[in-house]
Each structure stands twice: as structure tokens, then as C-alpha cells.
């Protein structure tokens, strides 16, 4: 299937490739399986050259190195960011020593978003989602369907429920 046979992502209105490029192995982190910056950039370039436009990463993939590689690549290729749908995820605690530094609490989501945007060298994400369900009632109360608590340029509407039925 060609990568430029774009589909609409749910009700978002975003047009994306039928296959997203998962950047989980972009970057080298001790103890994690990963690829070098050069290898990661080659994979990304090939994917985009073949018409792909949907890249997925997360704040904890190779301890944030995946997001940094993508951010550095976009900085080195001006104008490309606007043509790529970038998705990232939050959940894992990226703030050692802070027991509330991860999860789906409001403060944690905001802190993780700011760090993700910094690493990606961008001022917006196209898709930002919860990586793991916490299973705690706190998550249900603290996740909200609309991220209106962010500055307007960074707000979005969630397409996922804030709780699990059953």
C-alpha cells in the first residue's frame, strides 16, 4: 500500500498515511534498544520521501532521545514540520525524584507537554495521548476531554474517553 494514500484520522480531520512511522527505537539510551542518530534520520527521510506523513513518538522512548532526534531533524529541514503529523504520548515519569512527575494528573500532563515540545523543537503537536491507563479514580477526575487549561495555541480536544467503562 502506498504511503501517500492518505486516510482521515478518526474525526480529527487530519489526513495521515495508512502506516505511521513509530520512532520508538530512534536514539541511543543505555539499556534500551535503539538506533543511532544517523540511522534514525535515514529511516525518517526514507519514510517521508515515500509519501509518509505520520510520525509517532513518546516522551520516554529512548529516554527522550527519540523526540530530540525528530526535533533536530525538523530544525535542520525548515518547512518540513508543517507537512508531518506528529504524535507523542505522555505517562511515564521523566522527572526523577518527583512522585507526581508521571501519570495523568493535570500538572504532570502540562509538565510533560512542555518538555515534549522543547525536545521536538516545535510549538505544537498534532496528536497527544495517554500512553497507559493508570486504572486509578484519580485519572478519571484529573483527565479532561479538552485541554483548555493549556495556553490557547497548545489546546486541543481529546478523542479518547477520560475513563474506561466496565
Would you place residue 135 in the very low, low, confident or very high pLDDT band (cuts 50, 70, 90)? low
Catalytic residue among 6, 47, 61, 128: 61
Q: Is 124 a catalytic residue?
A: no
46 vs 163 pLDDT, higher one = 46
CA distance 13 to 160: 15
pLDDT over 70 (residue 149): no
CA distance 55 to 43: 11
Residue 63: per-residue pLDDT:
85
Q: What percent of the chain has pLDDT over 70?
A: 73
Domain 7-154: give its CATH superfamily.
Answer: NADP-dependent oxidoreductase domain (3.20.20.100)
Picking from 60-64, 100-104, 123-127, 129-133, which range would have the lowest pLDDT averaged per residue?
Answer: 100-104
Give tens-digit pLDDT for 24-53.
999 987 666 789 999 999 999 999 999 999
pTM comes to 0.80
Amino acid at each position: 500500500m502506498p504511503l501517500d494514500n492518505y486516510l482521515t484520522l478518526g474525526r480529527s480531520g487530519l489526513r495521515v498515511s495508512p502506516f505511521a512511522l513509530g520512532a520508538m527505537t530512534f536514539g541511543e539510551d543505555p539499556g534500551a534498544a535503539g538506533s543511532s542518530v544517523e540511522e534514525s534520520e535515514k529511516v525518517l527521510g526514507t519514510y517521508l520521501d515515500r509519501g509518509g506523513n505520520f510520525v509517532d513518538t513518546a516522551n520516554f522512548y529512548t529516554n527522550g532521545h527519540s523526540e530530540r532526534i525528530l526535533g533536530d531533524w525538523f530544525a535542520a529541514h525548515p518547512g518540513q514540520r508543517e507537512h508531518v503529523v506528529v504524535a507523542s504520548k505522555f505517562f511515564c515519569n521523566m522527572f526523577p525524584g518527583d512522585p507526581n512527575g508521571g501519570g495523568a494528573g493535570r500538572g504532570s500532563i502540562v509538565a510533560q507537554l512542555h518538555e515534549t515540545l522543547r525536545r521536538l523543537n516545535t510549538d505544537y503537536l498534532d496528536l497527544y495521548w495517554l500512553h497507559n491507563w493508570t486504572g486509578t479514580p484519580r485519572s478519571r477526575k484529573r483527565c479532561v476531554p479538552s485541554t483548555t487549561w493549556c495556553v490557547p495555541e497548545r489546546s486541543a480536544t481529546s478523542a479518547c474517553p477520560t475513563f474506561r467503562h466496565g
